Amino acid sequence: MITESGVVGMTLIVCESLVRIYQTGPVEVQALQGLDLVVEKGEMIAVVGASGSGKSTLLSILAGVDAPTAGRAHVEQWDLLAMSRADRVRYRRHTVGFVRQQTASNLIPYLTARQMVDLPMTAARTSAGERRKRSAELLEALGVSAYADRKPGQLSGGQQMRVAIAVALANQPHVLLADEPTGELDTATSAEVFGALRDVNRDLGVTVVVVTHDPAVSGQVERTVAIRDGRTSSEVLRRTATADDGGTHVIAEEYAVMDRAGRIQVPRDYREALALTRRVRLALEPDHITIRPDA
Ligand code: ADP
Ligand code: MG
């Protein structure tokens, strides 16, 4: 799927052995420790993981807001480790839309919803007529056209989030990155906001990467990527199957992720169940590999 030269087919995002080290004085924090991730065009994936596992760091890098320390990160034709300042501006303006983790940080208190959606288009020198048309369409698509003339303080948390999504989509990005968009919302409201993201993915064809803590959200996308200690540890794929009686049900299968060097992470409960520690025995069978305790 991935070649040395880069990306083939419909692959949109490729991260390989991605590393981000934060240096604060003498202290070094390895926020990403060799993360691998591939996202296909048109996909909607959820990223899950404990607090501090590196989810926001990953999204900031993909958003072009933060730069990786090492590894590879490509989005479309862009190499995120080797972008000029001008490219970065272009990338952030046209390729990605970003909804940040704190709801309030996405909106400007003294602007109305309509003015906020208008702003990124003004920066991109879109004509006034086009801006008017597009902001009306987006506010409508996100179900907030009735609140177009309200400022953030006059909107509920869910409405604010939907306006923030509309702002992120203003310049028709190919990728929408949303960092815990439902984190501060109650169950019903977060279902609405998540539904809006799904509509954006399905109706506008935008590739969506959403970070979430909410199992109800991750349970509804076809692929969930779990991050642990700054690396991708497992993926859950979901597909709908039709039973003999014609009814449909969702099958979820968990996969371990193997990096290019062949490393995989064995889940803690598996390790504990068989007391696997530093050394294990591997054996190649005709169609599988066994891992045994070193006893
Ligand atoms: P998550 O979003 O999964 O909670 P983050 O990506 O925010 O995780 O953080 C991953 C790790 O990097 C944490 O240990 C965090 O404290 C650290 N970190 C994140 N941003 C910075 C920063 N700007 N400076 C120093 N350390 C940071
Ligand atoms: Mg975070």
Coil, strand or helix at 53: coil
| 22 ligand 1 Cβ < 6 A | yes
* pLDDT of 9: 52
- Of the candidates 86, 88, 104, the one whose C-alpha atom is nearest the C-alpha of residue 96 is 88
| 255 ligand 1 Cβ < 6 A | no
Looking at residue 269, the DSSP 8-state letter turns out to be: H
| 256 ligand 1 Cβ < 6 A | no
Residues 292 and 207 in one domain: no
* pLDDT of 190: 87
Mutate to test the pocket of ligand 1, among 56, 59, 105, 227 (most ligand atoms within 8 A of CB): 56
Protein residue whose Cα sits closest to atom 15 of ligand 1: 52
What are the residues whose beta carbon lies below 5 Å from ligand 2 (ion)? 55-56
Residues 143 and 257 in one domain: yes
* pLDDT of 55: 95
Q: Is residue 1 part of a domain?
A: no
CATH of the domain at 94: 3.40.50.300
Residues 158 and 37 in one domain: yes
Assess contact for 40 and 221: CB atoms under 8 A. Answer: no
Query: What is the Å distance from ligand 2's center to 8 Cα?
Result: 30
Query: What is the Å distance from ligand 1's center to 54 Cα?
Result: 6
* pLDDT of 1: 43
Assess contact for 99 and 164: CB atoms under 8 A. Answer: yes
Residues 145 and 282 in one domain: no
Q: Is residue 6 part of a domain?
A: no
Residues 256 and 270 in one domain: no
Total number of domains constituting the chain: 2
Q: Is residue 224 part of a domain?
A: yes
Q: pTM of this prediction? A: 0.89
Q: Is residue 183 part of a domain?
A: yes
* pLDDT of 56: 95
Query: What is the Å distance from ligand 2's center to 161 Cα?
Result: 16
Query: What is the Å distance from ligand 1's center to 288 Cα?
Result: 37
Burial class (CB in 10 A: 0-12, 13-18, 19+), 239: exposed
Residues 257 and 286 in one domain: no
The total number of residues shown for the chain amounts to 295
The whole-number mean pLDDT for each consecutive block of 10 residues of the chain, a chain of 295 residues, reads 48 95 92 94 94 95 95 96 93 95 85 96 95 96 95 93 96 96 85 91 94 80 90 86 82 84 84 90 93 87
Domain span including residue 283? 265-295
Protein residue whose Cα sits closest to atom 1 of ligand 1: 52
Q: Is residue 4 part of a domain?
A: no
Q: Is residue 3 part of a domain?
A: no
Pairing of strands 207-211, 175-179: parallel
Residues 117 and 97 in one domain: yes
In the chain, the largest separation of any two C-alpha atoms, in whole Å, equals 74
